[in-house]
């Protein structure tokens, strides 16, 4: 039996050059599923995405999904893509195994915390000799540069070409902080110890969930519970904003951060995979 893709509708082209199309997965011309193929707006037209790959129950576990994914990759190659991304739900163990067998590498995870009702404590308690304040305008440029350099280093370290990494970093940051420190619904807080900066927390108030954009503790201050304290502060801000969930993104290779979030009750909701198209 032969598994193929059949266009379900014409290719959709955006004003920015993006493309997307839905294909029907067929076995000997018999429809057995569907898949959405497109380019990733974060990176530009050279990076594709495979989403919503579905095989109907009677035809599962027969290799149909694997062949459909390979056929979708070929579509992206024809569009000029040099890399492909996909997202797999945390509960989709079979899809994760399939992605690994096809050469995809897990790059990062989305994690969510459902805030307990009622709250576990009235307000976050900062460690002794520490205080929290808003970031000052004269500190912003240096912080922005550190955020950019750190994010780019991680992306390129996972195989993302520098030009694509720069596009994603800029798009993500500009979306979160379009007006810098004056961006509506966004806060950048500085944790001080004995009057000197020891860490920071960047938090964004969305409808629900709210989002931890960035949290960092200076190397010389790590291991003292400051990261945990900052995450508790984010929980408090989320409650004050009226949301019931708090989300974040963590790179898979950052094991200490993942363990911290897991210990705080965060659960993985999605795993994000990437693969070069050779």
Cβ contact 43:65 at 8 Å: no
- Give the pLDDT confidence score for residue 121 in this predicted structure: 60
3-state DSSP assignment of residue 268: strand
Domains 3-81 and 113-271 equal at CATH topology level: yes
Domain ranges of the chain: 3-81, 113-271
Segment 39-54, tens digit of pLDDT: 988 888 999 999 999 9
What backbone phi and psi angles, to 5 degrees, belong to 90?
Answer: -60, -30
Q: Tens of pLDDT along the chain (278 residues)?
A: 689 999 999 999 988 889 999 999 999 999 999 999 999 888 889 999 999 999 999 999 999 999 999 999 999 999 999 999 999 999 999 999 999 999 999 999 999 999 987 666 655 678 888 999 999 999 999 999 999 999 999 999 988 889 989 998 998 999 999 999 999 999 999 999 988 999 999 999 878 899 999 999 999 999 999 999 999 999 999 998 889 999 999 999 999 999 999 999 999 999 999 999 98
Task: Please give the model's pTM, rounded to 2 decimal places.
Answer: 0.91
- Give the pLDDT confidence score for residue 159 in this predicted structure: 85
What backbone phi and psi angles, to 5 degrees, belong to 221?
Answer: -110, 5
Superfamily covering domain 113-271: Gcn5-related N-acetyltransferase (GNAT) (3.40.630.30)
Task: For the domain covering 3-81, report its CATH number.
Answer: 3.40.630.30
């Amino acid at each position: 039996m032969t598994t193929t893709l059949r266009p379900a509708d014409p290719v959709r082209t955006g004003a920015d050059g993006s493309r997307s199309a839905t294909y029907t997965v067929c076995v000997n011309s018999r429809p057995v599923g569907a898949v959405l193929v497109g380019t990733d707006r974060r990176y530009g037209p050279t990076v594709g995405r495979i989403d919503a790959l579905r095989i109907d129950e009677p035809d599962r576990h027969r290799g149909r999904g694997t062949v459909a994914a390979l056929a979708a990759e070929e579509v992206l190659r024809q569009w000029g893509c040099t890399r492909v991304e996909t997202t797999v739900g945390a509960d989709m163990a079979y899809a994760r195994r399939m992605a690994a067998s096809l050469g995809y590498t897990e790059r990062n995870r989305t994690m969510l915390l459902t805030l307990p009702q009622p709250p576990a404590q009235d307000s976050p308690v900062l460690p002794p000799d520490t205080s929290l304040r808003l970031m000052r305008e004269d500190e912003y440029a240096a912080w922005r540069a550190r955020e950019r350099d750190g994010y780019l280093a991680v992306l390129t370290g996972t195989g993302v070409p520098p030009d694509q990494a720069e596009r994603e970093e800029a798009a993500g940051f500009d979306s979160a902080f379009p007006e810098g420190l004056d961006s509506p619904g966004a806060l950048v807080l500085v944790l001080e110890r004995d009057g000197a900066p020891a860490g920071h927390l960047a938090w964004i108030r969305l409808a629900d969930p709210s989002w931890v954009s960035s949290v960092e503790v200076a190397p010389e201050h790590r291991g003292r519970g400051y990261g945990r304290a900052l995450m508790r502060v984010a929980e408090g801000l989320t409650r004050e904003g009226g949301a019931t969930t708090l989300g974040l993104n963590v790179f898979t290779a950052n094991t200490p951060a993942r363990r911290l979030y897991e210990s705080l009750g965060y659960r993985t909701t999605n795993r994000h995979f990437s693969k070069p198209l050779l």
